[in-house]
Amino acid sequence: MMRRSIVKGVGAYLPEKVLTNDDLSQLVETSDEWIKQRTGIERRHIAADGELTCDLSAKAALAAMDNAGVTADDIDLVILATTTPDNTFPATAARVQAKLGVSKGPAFDVQAVCSGFIFALTQADNMIRLGQAKRALVIGAEIYSRILDWQDRSTCVLFGDGAGAIVLEAAEGEGSNTDRGVLATSLGTDGRCYDHLYVDGGVASTQTAGVVKMAGKEVFRQAVSRMCESVEQVLADCDLSKEDLNWLIPHQANIRIINKVGDKLGLDGSKVIVTVQDHANTSAATIPLALTHGVKKGLFKPGDVIALTAMGGGFTWGAALLRW
Ligand code: UT7
């Protein structure tokens, strides 16, 4: 027997305000046609004044708890993946824990930019497998609208605000690749690529929050290769092959990246979850948003093998393989 963690519930929250490509063309020299063609993005959501990352997180977490049929008393771990915390400290997860009324176990943030949800899921899975937690909330939440240069068309059209969450619960498995739940995870970082995607401010450097700077082409190239390698790694770790994959949930940054990853893995487009058109790149939130979309659409059948993968600033990357 072996302890596993299974996805018990999912939830999402997108702020009310929608910013379309046409709206953006009033701000910078761009067009709906360029954005759609180069990225697949049609709209993004923008947090209201005074709405914080903890608010988005708590709404997504409550939806996930409701979907799982659990209450705050059942949760004993909160991990929040975010690059846009409410304050420098304490962790935004601590605020989320208090907002939800969770009173057991630790709550902390994980910072791995767009790969943050995979890093947080890996941490939660490891803690559950070690017996350090029974039921975890794993959240990805971001307010990128507050770290964008709204005059830089090469970045401001790409990102949006939002949150997604899952409830991960301990379950007994046999230790084989037919178990339900998280079968394998794989993470990586190459700090030499720091300058390709970063924010030009911070507590120690400028005492300001800064704005996103990106070498788009290099990020694109590495995103495709790192996500493919990560998925191949978790499949190999479980003695499974690409043919065993029922679903791919890649980080939602650009439809061209998503299609290339799907093609390189030999997957039919119908097996790849795509939501980037509806919320743009919400960094650590894209994977739980896309996972929630798939669940709400009733796409996943018991026994399906699902690969989640992401790549982001750092560079960081990773994948998780689940059996539904
Ligand atoms: O989550 C990880 C983080 N991010 C990503 O994964 C993003 C990775 N990169 C990308 O998605 C793409 O590289 C971009 C969408 C950022 C850019 O697409 P591209 O096909 O690499 O375009 P480009 O940067 O080569 O720019 C092509 C042209 C340029 O004009 P010239 O030099 O050819 O005259 C840009 O100035 O498009 C221009 N351009 C724009 N035009 C209209 C750049 N941004 C815009 C814009 N609207 N918003």
Q: For 39-61, how does the pLDDT look when each residue is reduced to its tens digit (9 = 90+)?
A: 999 999 999 999 999 999 999 99
DSSP per residue, 31-67: -HHHHHHHH---EEEEPPTT--HHHHHHHHHHHHHHH
Catalytic positions are 114, 251, 281
Protein residue with its CA nearest to atom 44 in ligand 1: 154
Going by the DSSP 8-state scheme, the letter that residue 26 receives in this structure is T
Q: What are the strands, taking DSSP E only, across 174-304?
A: 181-189, 197-199, 212-214, 247-250
How far, in whole angstroms, is CA 131 from its chain's centroid?
25
Which region holds residue 41: left if phi is over 0, alpha if psi is between -120 and 50, else beta? beta
Strand partners, 19: 44
**Mean model confidence pLDDT for the chain:** 98
Query: Tokens 């609208």 correspond to what residue?
Result: 145
Say if 2-173 and 181-323 have the same CATH topology: yes
Could you check whether the bond before residue 90 is cis, i.e. omega within 30 degrees of 0?
A: yes
**What band does 63 get if pLDDT is binned at 50, 70 and 90?**
very high
Instruction: Count CB-CB contacts under 10 A for residue 51.
Output: 16
Ligand 1 residue neighbourhood (C-beta within 6 Å):
30, 34, 38-39, 114, 153-154, 157, 197, 216-217, 219-220, 223, 251, 253-254, 257, 281, 312
Q: Where are the domains of the chain?
A: 2-173, 181-323
What global pTM score does this model have?
Answer: 0.98
**Does 2-173 carry CATH code 3.40.47.10?**
yes
**What band does 253 get if pLDDT is binned at 50, 70 and 90?**
very high
Burial of 237 (0-12, 13-18, 19+ CB in 10 A): middle
Protein residue with its CA nearest to atom 2 in ligand 1: 312
pLDDT computed for residue 170 by the predictor? 98
Burial annotation 70-82 (CB, 10 A radius, 16+ → b, else e): bebebbbbbbbbb
The predicted-structure confidence for 182-216, as pLDDT tens digits, reads as follows 999 999 999 999 999 999 999 999 999 999 999 99
Protein residue with its CA nearest to atom 12 in ligand 1: 216
- CATH code of 181-323, in short, is 3.40.47.10
pLDDT computed for residue 232 by the predictor? 98
Going by the DSSP 8-state scheme, the letter that residue 272 receives in this structure is B
